[in-house]
Structures are given as structure tokens and as C-alpha cells.
């Protein structure tokens, strides 16, 4: 399992959402043995909505954006579900984008809204990247523009021959150089793994 989650609340509500989300995900994945990403996020969403309604007796304003992958090493497959967060797979110099659903965890689904999963075959050397919007929304570059996913994609191609540890350092350096003197806009989380 690979999961990157970003709570939309700040301060105490954000911290509460982090605790609730982590606890519920642990129960769903470990105790209930759920391996389908869409089912896991759907169950998480149901529990978060129920829990927040009981605690607040009001509408829900806070939630979380989340990307979840399950890697099946026996079948060499990747299953992905995103709640407003995509995933990138870097393979042989090309980037495969796994699009997310437009529904966040904590949102009550509309009539035709639900979480979906995508499954793709994996190859040795594939790199999987999950990231929060703080990475792409950072202002900088001397022109007060956002970093955007296009810069991140360009860096993945530019650093294609590097080890994962070197990529981490190089991407972090590029991000900080872009940020310059601008304050950090949001929490930043980037998770990258290479299939061995």
C-alpha cells in the first residue's frame, strides 16, 4: 500500500482529520483486509462522514484529498484510486497519469458520484509518484507563478538516470530554488518508489 493524504482543514480540525483518517484506514486495510482501493476509500469516506456528523451535528467542511495504490507483486499490477489526487507512473522516459476522481474524502457523494479504481501492469524500473497539491501549488520562480505539475514531470524526465535518493535531493533542490523567497504555500508531500 502507498498512500498520500492531505487534510483540507487547518489547525485542530486538520489534526483531527489526520488522526481519524489514519485510524480508519488502518482498520479498513488491516482489520477488514480490504485490498481494493476504491472500496477502501469508499469505506473511509463513509466512516469520516458518519464520524464528523456525530461529533459536529452540522455540515462537514473539512476532509482530505488522498491517493492510494496497492502493488500486487505476484501479478505485477498497480491498483490506484484517487480522491482529488492523481498518481504518476514514470516508465522508459514516458509519464502515465492516473487521474483521480473529483470527490474528496469527507464529501457526501452526489447521485452519480463514486470512487473508482484503475489497474495497470507494472514493469521492472517503473517509478510511482504520489504527491500533495502543496508541491504543485507553490508560488515562486521570480514571477509569482505556481510550480505546477508540468515542472515536476519535466524534472522526472531530466533526472531519469538518477537513483531514487539522488532524485529526491535534486527535486527538493529544484523546488526550493523555485520557491526562492516566497513563503511556503502549503504542506508538501511527495512519495516516490521504484519497482525492483
First to last CA, the chain: 16
Overall average pLDDT of the 102-117 stretch:
91
**Closest C-alpha to 122, from 87, 184, 79:** 79
H or E element: which one contains 127?
strand 127-131
Span 139-164, pLDDT tens digits: 999 888 999 999 999 999 999 999 99
pLDDT in tens, 55-66: 555 555 678 999
Q: Which residue in this structure is represented by grid cell 484503475? A: 118
- Among 14-18, 66-70, 127-131, 180-184, the least confident range: 14-18
pLDDT at 46: 93
Spatial CA neighbour of 60 closest among 91, 16, 101 = 16
State yes or no: pLDDT of 45 exceeds 70: yes
pLDDT at 58: 53
Contacts of 96 (CB under 8 A, 6+ apart): 88, 89, 90, 120
Q: What is the pLDDT of residue 19?
A: 87
pLDDT value at residue 111: 83
Cα–Cα dist 186/178, whole Å = 14
pTM as predicted: 0.92
CA distances from 179 to 161, 166, 186, 188 (A): 25, 20, 12, 12
Q: Which among 13-27, 46-60, 68-82 has the top mean pLDDT? A: 68-82
Which tops the pLDDT comparison, 144 or 4?
4
How, if at all, do strands 127-131 and 87-91 pair? antiparallel
Q: What is the 3-state secondary structure (H, E, C) of 24-36?
A: HHHHHHHHCCCCC
pLDDT of residue 60: 54
Amino acid at each position: 500500500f502507498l498512500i498520500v493524504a492531505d487534510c483540507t482543514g487547518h489547525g485542530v480540525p486538520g489534526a483531527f482529520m489526520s488522526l481519524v483518517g489514519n485510524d480508519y484506514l488502518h482498520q479498513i486495510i488491516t482489520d477488514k483486509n480490504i485490498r481494493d482501493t476504491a472500496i477502501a476509500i469508499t469505506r473511509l469516506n463513509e466512516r469520516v462522514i458518519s464520524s464528523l456528523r456525530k461529533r459536529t451535528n452540522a455540515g462537514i467542511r473539512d476532509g482530505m484529498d488522498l491517493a492510494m495504490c496497492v502493488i500486487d507483486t505476484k501479478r505485477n499490477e498497480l491498483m490506484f484510486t484517487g480522491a482529488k489526487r492523481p498518481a504518476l507512473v514514470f516508465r522508459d522516459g514516458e509519464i502515465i497519469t492516473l487521474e483521480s476522481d473529483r470527490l474528496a474524502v469527507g464529501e457526501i457523494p452526489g447521485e452519480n458520484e463514486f470512487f473508482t479504481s484503475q489497474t495497470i501492469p507494472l514493469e521492472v524500473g517503473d517509478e510511482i509518484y504520489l504527491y500533495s497539491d502543496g508541491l504543485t501549488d507553490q508560488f515562486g520562480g521570480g514571477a509569482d507563478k505556481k510550480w505546477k505539475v508540468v515542472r515536476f514531470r519535466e524534472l522526472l524526465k531530466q533526472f531519469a538516470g538518477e537513483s531514487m535518493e539522488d532524485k529526491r535531493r535534486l527535486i527538493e533542490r529544484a523546488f526550493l530554488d523555485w520557491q526562492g523567497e516566497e513563503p511556503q504555500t502549503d504542506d508538501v508531500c511527495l512519495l516516490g518508489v521504484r519497482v525492483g
